[in-house]
Chain A
């Protein structure tokens, strides 16, 4: 067998805590086959370690009975898994076609200049990691920015700069249709399947999600009435 690739990490490594080991095993146990837990397990590694670390890879491999190379192969495939430390706030600017045309390119350019960083780099204070991202399924709110994967809808270069400045100053910032922004590591924990009990924050829907419904309400438009006799009924034999 060929040796594992050399360790490319340079920062001081922190060992995983017993709690992290326990929680990694809990994730694997959610599935009929343990390996299905690997993606959420890697999210938990990022939450605990601030990135995908060699220890995190080894722990996942150990629990799932895989080689570290196999786990590495998975971790390197998915763009949300980061090999370099991520700041407290991951700021993603959508530069896929529609958002780019609507202003995403201008927003991304302004943030790069304002933060003094390039794509996938972290500001000197360690607070903000900037990345251009692909379509995040909020095109009716273009141009869209994501902070720790929460929606910041209908941005301008000025509003985007204001958001990152407030985050760097430690102010409380809310998603435009979601909760108060948490840190990137806290967000990764939710993605690992450990809820933070904040599902009830924020509205049900943003304004663009409701425009068609609003017009229907105004004009009295509805789906047809269901004829009571038409509903699918249990047959006699199966009642």
Chain B
């Protein structure tokens, strides 16, 4: 019987100076990489396939299958790029991982690069997290000095260089082809696919792009076995993941559990919603995943379960809002975010997010009419599936889901002639008396 929480990636975060090579190696760190370098690269790809690991950056594509798409008969160099551009609203798992245990990521990069036969790897970290970048820079430096990186690693004949690359503020660079543009020194605008990065990615060479948590999971799979990993989780969503609880919950934070845990279980572990309040709506995996409500508390948080409930598992960014929160205000703010971050390349997203903000702002101010709700849904229809990348699709999720579940609240704004909520009541520093 698997325990409710299963710390693997988070297991060393409470260790003294856990970010150092010495602390990491004390716990057996880099033994999986040493072992991997004695294996055939294809056997590592098979093990990751067998484990059932699916991408932890939101989309859930099988990691081993992605690696298998790299055409090994292509004479160009192969590249591994780690997507450490964690920016999806609500998502806050990769940043603490790299802060507390950057060597887990570096070891994962070594094994993964060796598997896809890359001699050059890049860790693209968003620029707005200075201390995290310091820790990853230091970990890479320590790994070089210890011979885990560089030429002929531990006598294996395998060479690997890692470059730590800081981004410069652009949510869109979390989209993998926009990230490649940024990494090539260009404006971060997504590329048309095909060709997919596996065939023509960085410098038009075969490239694997994986999320931090995906790559950081690889050492444990090689160290403990694909069966061990697959013994956790559900039938099609294997293994563990970090679940990030934020918002109006008593103990927000990081909870590492097998996929398939429910929000009801997580909220119970987190000490319940803040005292005197109840859950109103939540995101399962960041703002781009449609909102859910208390009726979904028992949905298994795996790719299939959340999909069946009409949303997406995404990055397990569980943002919880209680009854003091105005859903229209929340959705308007997310929409302003998408408008700000739209890269401008395609018309449906560039123009559409602008119009969504205009329409929503009017509703939040109690102006407009009920017909504006249909207009919003029509605008969403003109963006969803018609944009160049998933940013435009994501922008429609909070709007269409909030109209589905909270239509009356939109109408209440019209009846009230403005927002009927007191924003002070939803803050953490609201006094209990004022909100009870």
Contact = CB atoms under 8 A, between A and B. Distances in A.
Interface of A: 30-33, 35-40, 42-43, 64, 73-74, 77-81, 92, 95-98, 100-103, 105-106, 133-143, 146, 148-151, 154, 156-157, 175, 177-179, 187, 190-193, 195-196, 198-200, 202, 204-217, 219, 221-224, 226-227, 230-235, 237-239
A149 B130 contact: yes
A214 B7 CA distance: 10
Contacts of B38: 234, 238-239
B317 to A, nearest CB: 7
Nearest to B324: A101
B187 A73 contact: yes
A140 B131 contact: no
B241 to A, nearest CB: 11
B371 to A, nearest CB: 26
B168 to A, nearest CB: 4
Contacts of A233: 35
A86 to B, nearest CB: 13
A102 B252 CA distance: 12
Interface string B131-142: 101110110010
B128 A133 contact: yes
Interface in B153-172: 163-171
B164 A232 contact: no
Given A33-B203, A204-B15, A210-B14, A97 B89 contact: yes
Interface in B315-331: 317, 319, 321, 325, 329-331
6 contacts: A42-B168, A78-B182, A136-B128, A200-B138, A204-B17, A211-B255
Contact of A137 (B19, B91, B184): B91
B203 A139 contact: no
B294 interface: no
A28 to B, nearest CB: 9
Contacts, number: 331
A209 B96 contact: yes
B246 interface: yes
B342 to A, nearest CB: 12
Contact of B134 (A92, A195, A216, A231): A195
B5 A212 contact: yes
Chain A CB within 10 A, most for which of B100, B130, B244, B257: B130
Contacts of A179: 131, 134
A80 B166 CA distance: 11
A191 B13 contact: no
B287 interface: yes
Contact of B246 (A42, A140, A226, A237): A140
B334 interface: yes
A135 B127 contact: no
Nearest to B287: A97
B90 A135 contact: yes
A178 B287 CA distance: 27
Interface in B3-22: 3-8, 10-11, 13-20
Contact of B427 (A101, A146, A209): A101
A105 B228 contact: no
Nearest to A28: B185
A80 B171 CA distance: 12
Contacts of A32: 77, 120, 203
Contact of B14 (A105, A205, A235): A205
B252 to A, nearest CB: 4
A39 B317 CA distance: 28
Interface string B250-278: 01111111000000000001100000000
Interface stretch (B219-227, B350-358, B362-370, B412-420): B219-227
A187 B128 CA distance: 10
A98 B131 contact: no
Contacts of B245: 140
Given A64-B185, A137-B91, A221 B6 contact: yes
Contacts of A211: 251-255, 270
A105 B40 CA distance: 54
Contact of A223 (B39, B232, B244, B331): B232
B427 A190 contact: no
A230 B227 contact: yes
Given A96-B333, A232-B222, A191 B14 contact: no
Contacts of B169: 78-81
A162 to B, nearest CB: 14
A138 B90 CA distance: 8
B302 to A, nearest CB: 17
A2 B352 CA distance: 32
A226 to B, nearest CB: 3
A176 B307 CA distance: 37
Chain B CB within 10 A, most for which of A102, A105, A193: A102
